[in-house]
Amino acid sequence: MSPRIHLPSGWVTFVFTDIEGSTRLAQLLGPGYRPVLREHRRLLRHTLAGTDGAELLTEGDSFFLAFADAAAALTACLTAQRALASHDWPTPEAAPRVRMGLHTGYAEPRDGEYASPEVHRAARVAAAAHGGQVLCSAATARRADPLPAGASLLDLGLHRLRGFDDRERLFQLLAPGLERRFPRPRTADAAAHNLPTQITSFVGRELERAELRRLVETYRLVTVLGAGGAGKTRLAVELASGVVESYPDGVWFVDVAAVTDPGLVAFEIAAVLGLRPEPGRRMVDTLVEYAAARRMLVVLDTCDAQPAASAEVISRLLAGGRGVRVLATSRESFGVPGEAVWRIPPLSVDPRPDGSESDAVALLLDRTAAARGGRPPDPAEQADLRRVVRRLDGLPLAIELAAARLRVLSAGQLAERLDDMLGTLDAGREEPEPPPAEAGWSGNQQDTVDLVAAAAGISPPTPATRAVQRSASERHLTMQATVTWSYRTLGARSARLLRWLAVFAGPVDLPTVQWLLDDDPLDPLSVLVDKSMVLAEPHASGSTYRMLDPIRAYAARRLVEAGEEQSARDRHVAWSRHALQRAHLGPDGRPVTLSLYALDPLAGELRAALRWCATGGSARSGLGLAGGLDQWWRSGGWPGRGGSGCSGCTAGSPRPAR
C-alpha cells in the first residue's frame, strides 16, 4: 500500500471480500484461473477502491478496504456485485462468486494500518456471507444513510461470530441485480440445530423414546418406519431435541417430502447446512466433504417421498465420515448396509400397570381439552373415550382428528359414529388433492434450493408443480390424504390386495390371504408390509397380518370405488363358511361337538360375513352361516347373539334367497 493513501479515522467502515470456493475454482479452471482472478481484481478495484475506499490489502482473491462513510461503502459493494454479475466471463462455471462483509467501528490508523478488534469483527461478518451476498453489521446499518437507490436491508437476526462472545445482528443488502435468497449465515451460533418448534405438547411414549435413543447411540443409520399418521416425525423431533448437546456440529432437520426431483435431495440437505454448489462439482460431493470432519445428526423426514435418492445420499454421507449419524423417518426401509429398522408401534390403548390412563387416552384427553377451550372431558365420558382410542387402534393422527370432532360431539356420539371412520374423522376439513408421484416442495429452504438447483442445471418447479407443493404439508390434514400418500405408490397387485384385505375384521394368516386371492400373495403382501400399510406380527406358529382400522376404512372405500366389493366380500363369506365347517371337524376329519370357545377366534369374521349377507350378499349363505353357529350360540347362552352388530342378519330375514 502506498503511504500517500489517506486512511480514514473515527467511525470507519471496513469491507472484506473474497471468492467463495476459490480453491475449487482454481482446480476447475487450471491455467484459466489466473485471467479470471486478474479480471476479478480489476472489477473490484474499479468499483470499490475506485470510489471513496482506501485499499489496505490485496492478497490472492481477497480485498480489505476502509471507508469513511458507511453509505458509500454499501454503494460500492452493490456496484461491485452488479459488475461481477453482468461481466462476460469465459464460461458460466468460471464466474467468481464473491462474498462481502461490512462493519463500522471506531478506529484510528497507526503506521498505515488499523490495530483494532473492529477489523476482526468485519472479517467475521464477511466470513458469514455466501458468494454473491453482501452482509453488514448493525453498526453499519445504523450509519448507512441514505441507502443506494432501490436498496434495502434485510434483518437476519442475531448471530454469534466466531471468536466473539457477544451476538451480532446481521443485515443483508437487497437491491435489483443482487441475489436475494441464501442459506443461513455461516456463524457459530450456540444452538446448532433447526428442529421445528412444536405447538402442542408431546404425550407419552417414554419406552419408545428410550428404545429409539439407544438405537441412535448404537447405529449410525436408524430408520423409523410406520404408517402415515403413526407419529414418526413427532417422535424423531422429540428425540433429536434431547440430544442436541451430544452433537457439536449440530442436529439438522430436513423434510424430504419437499423434493420433486431425486437429484435435489442433496440440495435440500445442503441448503439446511448452509452450503452452495461449487463449480464443476456434484452437490453430493460438496455435502460429503463438509460432513466428513463433523460430528452431527441429520434427521431426514418422510424419505418415502424419494426413497432411492435418499438412500444414495445417506450411504455417501455415512461412508464419508464417521461423525455423521442419520435418523430417518419413512413408510418403507432403505435396505442399505448398516441400517437399523425400527417400527413405531401405535400408542398403547391399555391402562398402565399403575392404573393410570394409557398413552392413547392421555393424548385424546389432552387434545380434547384444547379443542374445548381448556375444559377437560367429563369423567362420565372416560369409558367412551377408551372405546374411541381402541377403534382408532391408537393411531396418533386419528386421535388428533377425533379430538377435533369432540368440539361438537360427546365422546359417546363420536364412538357411535366411527363405523363411518373416514367420514367422521375428516368431517369439516377440505380434502387436498392427492399428491402426484413426486411429492411437493418444502417451504423454509425453497428459494435457496431453487437457486442452487438452477446453478446445477436442474429445472425449478413449474407452476403446475408449485400448485401441488402444498400437498406435501397437507398430507396429514385428513386420514384420506394420509393414506393416499402411501396408496399412490402401490403397484396394481399390492393395491388390489390392500383393498381385498379390508373385508377381514381382524388378523389373518398367510394361507387365508392366499385363499382370498386364489394366488400366491407373498410378493404384494411383502410390499404392503414394507410400506407399513399392513402390520406383520410374528408368532411361534407363523406370522399374522392386520391393518390398523383407519387404513382398513380407507381400503374398504377404495374397494367400493374399484367395483370389487361384491366379489371380495362374497369370497370372504365363502372363506367364513369353510372356516366354520373346519371348526366342526376334528384332526381326523370326523365331526366333533363344538366347545364353548372353539369359534371365539372366528367371531369377528363371522359377524362381518353375516352383516354382508344381510345387506348386500346372499341370504342363503347367511342362513348357512347362522345354522352353523346355532350350537355355539346355545352353548354360550346367547340365542339372539347372532344379530349383534349386524342388523337384519337373523334367520327370519325376509330377503329372497339367491
DSSP 339: E
Cell readout for 176 is 435489483
Judge whether residue 221 has pLDDT over 90: yes
Q: Give the C-alpha separation, 655 to 110, whole Å.
A: 106
Q: Give the C-alpha separation, 295 to 246, whole Å.
A: 9
pLDDT digits (tens, 9 = 90+) for 377-400: 878 777 888 888 888 888 888 888
Q: Could you tell me the residue ranges of all domains in the chain? A: 10-174, 191-346+434-488, 359-425, 490-563, 565-658
pLDDT for 100 equals: 94
Q: How many CB atoms lie under 10 A from the CB of residue 291?
A: 23
Please determine whether the domains at 10-174 and 490-563 fall in the same fold group of CATH: no
Phi-psi region of 428 (alpha: psi -120 to 50; beta: other; left: phi over 0): left
Q: Which residues pair with 117 in a beta bridge?
A: none
Nearest to 500 by CA among 592, 570, 426: 570
Q: What's the topology of domain 191-346+434-488?
A: Rossmann fold (3.40.50)
Residue with cell 436442474: 458
Mean pLDDT of 411-424: 76
Q: Could you please report the per-residue DSSP string of 385-427?
A: HHHHHHHTTT-HHHHHHHHHHTTTS-HHHHHHHGGGHHHHHTT
Q: Give the C-alpha separation, 358 to 348, whole Å.
A: 6
- Report which of residues 14 and 392 the model is more confident about: 14
pLDDT for 141 equals: 92
Residue with cell 337373523: 650
Enumerate residues 6+ apart whose C-beta is below 8 A from 24: 278, 279, 280, 281
Q: Which residues pair with 329 in a beta bridge?
A: 224
- Whole-model pTM: value is 0.68
List the single range of 116-120, 241-245, 440-444 with lowest mean pLDDT: 440-444
At 654, is the pLDDT very low, low, confident or very high (cuts 50, 70, 90)? Answer: very low
CATH of domain 490-563: 1.10.10.10
Nearest to 313 by CA among 272, 347, 344, 354: 272
Mean pLDDT of 259-278: 82
Enumerate residues 6+ apart whose C-beta is below 8 A from 548: 227, 346, 393, 395, 535
CATH architecture of structural domain 10-174: 2-Layer Sandwich (3.30)
Q: Could you tell me what percent of the chain has a pLDDT over 90?
A: 15
